[in-house]
Structure 1
Amino acid sequence: MRVEDFDFELPERLIAQTPLLERTASRLLMLDRKSGETRHGMFTDLADQLGEGDTLVLNNTRVLPARLIGQKADTGAKIELLLLKQLAADRWETLAKPAKRVKPGTELWFGDDGYGQPLLRAVAEEAGEMGARTVIFRYEGIFTELLDRLGEMPLPPYIASRLEDKERYQTVFARHEGSAAAPTAGLHFTSDYLGLLEERGVQLVYLTLHVGLGTFRPMSAEVVEDHVMHAEYYSLDERNAELLQAARERGGRIVAVGTTSARTLETVAARCGDGPIEACSGWTDIFIYPGYRFRLVDALLTNFHLPKSTLVMLVSALAGREAVLSAYREAVEREYRFFSFGDAMFIS
């Protein structure tokens, strides 16, 4: 398959720049993956699409304020670092911008202690592809507190507006820090709405996948099968593994909230094989595209994604490329809001 096969026309004006005031106020496009038929409503209509015995699987990762803006220690030139993956205690994989100015040995300064010294220093160790840099941080105090003080939310490059409320780029159920981007399908939920679903007999299950480098890099391959996914850390604890296994045994639908949850579920399914679902953690680089046979995911709640992205390919694997692209064309015609702060799509 060619990457071009997953392209579609998207007017720039449909890229949502800011979140809605109410999380649940988004629109919802519903796609029947068997018939290809679509219906249109509001996100709150999701409750009518879920029933007693269904299991909703949510990614409880929490986004780090991982965008640091500082300067080179020797020249004062402005440098931006995006933290992607913690490799050791103070050693991180990052994206540098402009990367050509950050060579191995370069020292970067962030913040000011009031006496002309930085609150946080970083020394570049290794240079990777497409702006990747491995750095070592040096500081006094607690790193996460410094990051909260100095860092900004790492919004995707297609969002030009500054986010005033950092929590609006976190899900209400975010718990475990480590992501470089939000699992955006989860942004539509409030605690009250999740409570409503539970009252209707929907079971909630939580897992963790820390979103990493792949979110910020476009596909460079021309052939889908040639693309290599960047590995991301995932975790499923014992209690939630037991809930998933019970859901599987009773035959209820397993509904993934977002592509990150879907990828984690399918990673767990591959790891557990024909045996029961068990607690596990590790790194996954699973790449799901048409031809893939889903083992755990029965339905998917997701946002609208970038043309020619791995996320569109995952959605197409579940519902079929033609059906998905047709639904996307319909969404464009009806002026749905796209991407991180956009509207939602439910595939069942």
Structure 2
Amino acid sequence: MGYKVVVVGATGNVGREMLNILAEREFPVDEIAALASRKSLGTEVSFGDRTLKTQDLDQFDFTGWDIALFAIGSDATKQYAPKAAASGCIVIDNSSLYRYDPEVPLVVPEVNADAVMGYGRKNIIANPNCSTAQMVVALKPLHDRAKIKRVVVSTYQSVSGTGKEAIDELWNQTKGVYVPGQEVEPSVYPRQIAFNVIPHIDSFMEDGQTREEWKMTVETKKILDPSIKVTATCVRVPVFVGHSEAVNVEFEDFLDEEEARDILREAPGCLVVDKREPGGYVTPIECVGEYATYISRIRQDGTIENGLNMWIVSDNLRKGAALNAVQIAEVLGQRVLKKG
């Protein structure tokens, strides 16, 4: 016996990935519904070897459905997620709307799977920010061994994190560089993204950090440990898919780089590729379509007493969003719903 699953926002990049991953991982589905806004009504999406036609989110009745994977913006989520939750359907939300709500668990299954048991307060579970998700997967096993004091992270985030329009903008601007008269002015981003980097993701806050940087700080504390200090600089780069992070970690206890490699090789969700030679590391292009969080360039930081540096790469549409949501659904199935 399987589950009745709803994918909300099924025509978007993350929604389509959710459908792909549900099929790939053979999630036990008895019935599935693909929902979208009225303007996308009837659009066809793939689920394994099946083709689904999207239904109207505004008219959909969630009663009797087990799990709803939400991949729409915060405004729409605010309207529809409470309705789904009130009907008895457990919502797994990919937006930022509920991440900081103390009554809603924020879950990365490799890190804090037990937190799903707090779903019942609102019948909602939150998915973290894409950059936070991959970072805490790598930090968790090291924190268990040596206790992390402080994290300094610089991100290199692909345009797919912004959506299809950003992917199109990068593509069109890149073509425009080479074809006179076809230059494309920025519309999605405040500056040209092709052949450029932009140190600005989300809105600016009063203290000078961006909201994306603030998210990484607050979410790491909620998921992993509130005592960890985190400072982030988040940068958009001209990459289609795949987020990269340069991470500096300060521990309470000394952790040798060789032991760190061994720990990460055994850690769930992690894959270490770390050879000190040209190409002995992972770049975003190799992680596309993969489940793992890749870790490379593991080395001691000699400028502090107990420091390590790492390079972390992951498919942001997968581990950063859709895969994590499906993994949460799997945990729910194993621990709560117990049908499959």
For the superposition of Structure 1 and Structure 2, which TM-score range results when normalised by the shorter chain?
A: 0.3 to 0.5
Q: Give the TM-score normalised by structure 1.
A: 0.33
Q: Give the TM-score normalised by structure 2.
A: 0.34
Higher helix share: 2
Structure scoring higher RCO (CA < 8 A, sep ≥ 6) equals 1
